[in-house]
Every structure is written in structure tokens, then in C-alpha cells.
Structure 1
């Protein structure tokens, strides 16, 4: 069932329930008001008949004639009067006695002073009447024809109105739901046009501040991310294929040349060494790609714990200098830096990968193969500087330095794949930190800022 139909039916059902409760309340209120009103009329009629019987000189036969004449045009109230001995004093029509008063009923009237009840369709009232020191019981009974006709008419009108209003509400619900959900229908049509090859398409948005427009904006944002992800993936696969093809081609070429003719032991060893270098280069590339994949996980899936940045820096310092004996790395932590300021919530492995890349990158492109690490702090920010001397990076290369697989002309003389700095930036951002680079006056500095509490 479509949302439009479901909303219309639900809206109609709720309206029907409310309208039903309202109509039933009106009907039963009118019914109760009619009963009270008619009991009041019976009481007035009983008192009037008793006054007429006791206080006027009108003979009883004339009163009977008056009663019978009235019954021809309307439902006249039938009145009966009894004394304290429960003897009949007066009756409008003893032959047609509606109430048929019993001794028990009369005793109840004298005891309670006033009673009222239904006798089939008749309403009956019994009351005590005082005249010249004597106490009498007066009963009055009649059928409220006009009252019942009014209730029947009210019920008929209510039922007819109920169904007419329901039909109108249902039609109005269809119209309003169609109009309200028309942007959603248009949105569905637009979504069906979006395929893997047409991710550039977007949903139409308006300036309205409603939920549907917000949904369209968020959906467009998702499409934007998907399109960027697809483009990055294509770019990534293309560059990976190129980077892997180069060492593989070199290994194949070297092994083919070695197998074509006999060589000396030294030449074979040289060929093997070249193949090993290319294989190690592929392993390094593979490890970089694995680290990049880990850094690309959802942040919620990466485990974070308390990490001491000085310890991670020392591990990176030790690892880089051990693997590259010609590298010179110095670590300087200012005295103003307190121990608790060096502790952050992070992933130790990923932070070490980022610091390794920054130290290795600084040493690699420094003529002296040196990297100076300075750690300083203010009240809210812990700053780590990775500085090396050498040719400054030009402005154009600085704009693209954190892009994947980007390598400047100056860097192509050194081995690399253009993944390190891109990976480093992702790791730094995962830790809600910021990395910037400044290169001038034959000095290049990468600055990493961590927020501290």
C-alpha cells in the first residue's frame, strides 16, 4: 500500500473516530436532556391538574372531557391522585390506566416524596402533593412523542452527515496527500534516472525548509560523496596498476635477460639484487596500500585508546634511523610541555605510520638527510614540527602535495609512490588534528596540531 493511500485512510479513520465520538456525545446528551425536560413537564402537569381538581369548582366530569378532547390532538398527560389510605381520589381515565399504581408504588411515593421511572415507552413521575393539611400522592404519565421524533431526526441527520463528511474527508485526504507528496513522487522519478554511470545527476532542491527538501539535500550530499568515491577509486586503481606494472616489468625483463645467455656469478648476483630491490619496492607499496586501507575505515571501526605522542615519536625515530643508517633525526621536546599534554586518544599504529612518513620524507629530500622534530604547546594545542633543509617546494607543488600518487618533478629522483603524504593527512584528520606545510628559504616544515584538553 502506498504512503499516500495509507495516510489518507489513517486520516479518514481518525476523523471518523473523532466525529463518531462527537456525534454519540451529542445524541446521548440530547437524550438525557429530553428525559429531564419531560420529567419536569410531567411534574408541572401533575401540579396543575391537582390544583385544578382541588382549587377550582370544575366538576370531575368536565375534567375528564377536557382530558379526552386533548388526547385527540396530542399525547395528553394522564394524572391520578391518591390519598394517604391509597384510595383513588381522581383519575383522568380509570378505564385506560397507564400506570396501574400499586400499593408498593404509592408507599414508595409517600416515603421518597418524589420518584420517576420508565414504563415501556411512557415516562412516569410520582410526587407528594399537600392540600389543606392533607397529603396526597399524584402520578403523571405520558409518551413524549415530540421528544422521540426530535431524537430520531437528530440520529438520522447525524448518520447521514457522518457518512457524507467521511466521503468528503477521504476525497480531501486524497487531494491533500497527493499535493503534499508530489515532491516525493517527483523525487522517486529523478532517483530512477540515477545509475552508476550517471552519478553526476542531482535531485532538485528548493529554498523551502521542509523535511523533503532536507532529504533531497542530504541525498545529493550522499551522491556527491559516492561520485567522489567512485572517481577516487578509478584514479586509485589506475595509479596502482601503473605503480605495480613498473617493478613487475623490471623484474620480468631482468629475469628474461638472465635466462637468455650465460652470465658470470657476479652478473647473476647483480641481476638477483635488482630483482630483490624491485620486489622490496613492491612490498613497500603493498604495505603503504594496506595502511591506506586501514586509514580509510569508518572512524567508528578504528580502536582508539590513550597514546603518548612522545613515545610514538621515539619509536618512529628509532625505526627510521635503524633502517637508514645515513639518516640523522633529532627530537626536541620543550620543557614547558607537561606529561599529561602528550597523551591523546588515538590509534598508535596509524600515528606511527604518519610520523614515519613525515620523518622519512624529511630525511629523503634533505641534502644532509636530516630531520628536526620540535614539540611545543600552548594551553589548548600541542604542535609537532618536522623540519628539513633543502630546496624549497614551489607553490604549485604545495597545492597538490597531499593528493594521492602526486609526485613533483623534484621528487622523482627519489624512490616513492606518492602515497605517504596522502596517507599521513588522512591519519592526522582521523585524530581530529590538522597538518600544514610551509616551504621557504631552503627549509620545509610540516606542522601537526593536536587539540588537548
Structure 2
């Protein structure tokens, strides 16, 4: 609207200024006509000048030049005192009149032929339109002030009406943004507003109801499938362990039972990854958080790793063990954090063809760092930011089995614990995953 109004003001100013200038040129031409008539009819000159003085007001800096044009129009001596080009005089002679404006001065050329065969007359009149300049200045100021006032009024009214119109929309957006997986039962409050906004509120409430129903069904499914899958796997592993304990040492079936137990543990771990990935957001607010020493957690991780495959060689490095044991305590969900660290370690074994993996514990003030180092295939630098995307697998992992969900789940769990995972890898030489977690020691100091 401001641009439209500005355009209207410019058009108005241009038209008004042009009209004023056109009228002033007409006044000069009429004055020049009387002067030319007085020159051509000398006997009535006094009468013409009397008419001119009575009808036309005196113009500021008015000057008149009278040029007599003989038969030879090609040899005309134009006055050098006037800032006029020769084309101006020729236009006046050929067309009877000419106009020119320069530096605030208006010039009019009027050509009159002498009917008696004497020299023709070219009258050049010039003057300043002081009143017109003042008028244009006042008009410019008036339009500028009117434009600014209109913009201010439009801005104020726009803000006022936009708040009235879009205020409910802002409330709706804030409310919708505050709804997540843990408060899906919240609904938008109905307000007295436009019918369209009321319909939008009803539509969003209906959508939230459908989402809550679907989400609850998913949670029930995850809970049921978790129990249904884990129970038979636990029974299989238990029965295999019992059968293995009853066999004599060196029995032919011992190896098969050991493989059954190891593969069952791997399958349980894969199922845990998939289930925990599906309900990681739910677990973020769930109970099960406790204070634990990190070295104790790592021993549990080592035990879980060896259950999956006794051939794994995980080397724990406590060379940077702190003198103050309080620096080792963290607030964590033991089950989830164990799962995350196991995923990282198992990746190290898998992509290094079961070579040794080193796990180093470092406690430094307000942070606890875990360095998981392998000597595997490494990760290309261009892919290091993508390995934490669900179902993404590196370009050099085609010869290895996997689903691309272990590291994404690990990252979710570590972020849930207000930590981070840093990657340092060289293709063909190995990878170091650095897990950084906040220590309770820093909170105690505060």
C-alpha cells in the first residue's frame, strides 16, 4: 500500500507540476504574441502594450528579444547572450513556436510573418516562474507529509488489525509447537474468533486425537512385541546354557550349543536396538535413571559383549583413572547407556573383522570421555556426518551385514544424557569414536 500510495503521489506531483509549467508557457506565448503584434503594427503598439500590462501580470525576470528575419533564413545572427541552441530558433521559425526550460528559466520563441512583405518577426521571451516553483515546493512538501502520515496510519492500523486477526493464529502455533509425544492429550482451547480460525482449531484437535490414538497403539504394539520376542529368546539361551552345562567337556554338541547361545545374544541385541530405536523418545521421560560409576558400567558393557561372542577382545584402558572417584559418577539410564556403548563397540569389532578394540576411560573435571578405537576400514570424511542418520550405511560397508540403526540409536541415547559423539577416522586405518558425557562432579562443584 505504501508503494501504491507513493506511486499515486508521484503521478499527482508530475501531472500538477506539468500542468503548472504548461500554463506558464502559455502565458509567455500570449505575452510574446502581443509584443509581436505591437512590433508588426507600430501604429497600435501603445494599445497592445496597454492590453499586455492590464491583462498579464508582470513576470519575474521577464525579458524579450525581437529578431527580424529576412528572406535569407539561412544567415541569421542569433544572440549569443541567450543559452539557446540554434535548433530552438529553427523550430520556432519552422513551426511557429518553440519552448525550452533551463535552470529555472522558461524560454518561448514565437515567429510571426509580415503580411506587407517586410522582415518577419521572431520574439524570444524568457521569465522565471517564481510562484510556480513555490507551488511545486509546497506541493512536494504536502505530498511528502501526507505520504508519511498515511504510512504511519497504515502501519498502526495494520499492526492493530493483524493482532486482532492473527493473534489467535499465533496462540495456535505456540500451542501446537508445545505438544509432543508426552502431552498428546492436550487440545487447543476454543476462542471467539473468525469462523475459519474456529474450523482450523477443530481440525487440529481432530488431528491430535487421531495422532494420540495411533501413538498409543504404537506404544502398546512395541510393549507387546518386546515381551513376545524377548521371552522365547531368553528361553532358548537358557535352555542352551543348561544343555551345555550337562555335556561332558569336549562333546561334539558343545560347539553347536555355544553358537546357539552367541547367536541368540546377537539376535536379542538386534531386537533391543530396533525396539529401543522405536521408543527412544518414550524412554527419555521414563523412569529408570540412577547414579552410577562409569567404570562399573564399562564392566557391565564388557560382560554383555563377551556374551555375544567370546572371541571378541575388548581392551579396557584405565590409565587415566582419576584420583578422585567422584569424577566418575554420572546420572544415566543404565539399560540405554549400556546399549549405546555396546553398539559403538560392536561396530568396531564388525568393521575391523573382529580385531582388538580399545576402550579408554578419561575423567576430566566436568566431563567423562570414552574413546572407542578400532583398526578397521574407517569412514570417509564426507560421510562422517551421515553415519548417525537412521538406516544410512557407508559406501565401503557393502561387505558387512547391518541395518544402519545402531549408531543413530547410540547418538539419540547419548544426546538424551546431554552428551555428544565425536568421530575421528582415517579410511583404511581405523576409527576412534569419542563419547563425551557430563559428570555429576561438575554439578556438585556448582
TM-score computed with the length of structure 2 as normaliser: 0.43
Rg: which structure is higher?
A: 1
TM-score computed with the length of structure 1 as normaliser: 0.42
